[in-house]
Amino acid sequence: MIKLNGLHLLLTYKCTYECDHCFVKSSPFAPGTMTFEKVKDSIDQANKLGTVDSIYIEGGEPFLYYPLMLESLRYAKQFGFKLGIVTNGYFATSVDDALLWLQPLCEIGGITLCISDDDFHSGADREDSAAQRTQKAAEQLNLTGIEICIDSPCLTSDPHKPGEIILGGGVRFRGRAAEMLIDDSLPKFPWDNFDKCPDENWDEITRLHLDSYGNLYPCQGIILGNLNNQTLNEVVKGYDHATHPIAAPLHSGGPAELVRRYNLDLKDAYHDACHLCFLARKSLLPRFPDALGPEQIY
């Protein structure tokens, strides 16, 4: 069942950074950017659905397409949605410059600014980073600013419940992290230990991400439908975790069940559930092209 209350628009996969931990492998070279026509259509459909109360603009880095981002927020605002943006604040070469970039957000009003500020984005100089300058400018403008800070790879407890937005905690070993951050100094655990999905409630989904290719997914890379050939209402009403080839095993037995159900050659040791899940899904891409994608994030 999908009880959709949040729609997150991945305005672009392109980003100024190429972070080692990125879920969707964003980079300055990543293809895939929404048109305003697609943005408007998705917001219209979210409004008609009647259950969605928030629209977030994400990426990649949405400020790379600044006019499109602003018009998308203005369009969503007229329907009364709560609004949010996720950014790394790359534009903040100074606090004064950041004020120029953020001032139009104040004019739209009611926007929450989620700022990525961790070692992956800011390096060692966290006191005078672009993210910190963005945060200071947001405070001056009375914009609500929330810090997104992901820890470097380590054993850490997760500060969120399944289905909630990840704002902190440890790296998930999926996307680029499954290739770049593998470190033999970190412990690994037997594959069959991972019998639960730590991040999603597959039987009651409340938020979806929409990318420029029309893909709708709760967890990056697991597609529940595509707005190029379905309506949002059809995806929401038609979803049944028990019949989805990826959601069904994840719900019943986590990543380990993916391995068992499809007899995958992955019976080894892994850093976390996401590590095993990502590798299992990557191996299943050719088998389930409608349920996994886009291929570029694998």
Instruction: Please write the tens of the pLDDT for every residue from 46-77.
Output: 999 999 999 999 999 999 999 999 999 999 99
* 108, 77 contact by CB (below 8 A): yes
- What is the band of 167 on the pLDDT scale with cuts at 50, 70, 90? very low
- Kindly tell me if the per-residue pLDDT of 174 is higher than 70: yes
Pick the range with the lowest mean pLDDT from 45-54, 75-84, 163-172, 208-217.
163-172
Chain position carrying tokens 């891409």? 285
- What is the band of 157 on the pLDDT scale with cuts at 50, 70, 90? very low
**What pLDDT score does 183 carry?**
82
CA-closest candidate to residue 6, choices 60, 42, 59: 42
- Kindly tell me if the per-residue pLDDT of 256 is higher than 60: yes
- Kindly tell me if the per-residue pLDDT of 264 is higher than 90: yes
Distance CA 137, CA 131 (A): 10
* 13, 60 contact by CB (below 8 A): yes
Work out the mean pLDDT of the chain and round it to a whole number.
92
**What pLDDT score does 158 carry?**
54
Instruction: Please write the tens of the pLDDT for every residue from 114-135.
Output: 998 877 666 656 668 999 999 9
- Kindly tell me if the per-residue pLDDT of 159 is higher than 70: no
Q: Span 153-161, mean pLDDT?
A: 54
- What is the band of 162 on the pLDDT scale with cuts at 50, 70, 90? low
Q: How much is the pTM?
A: 0.91
- Kindly tell me if the per-residue pLDDT of 169 is higher than 70: no
pLDDT above 90 as % of the chain: 81
Chain position carrying tokens 């989904």? 205
Distance CA 55, CA 4 (A): 11
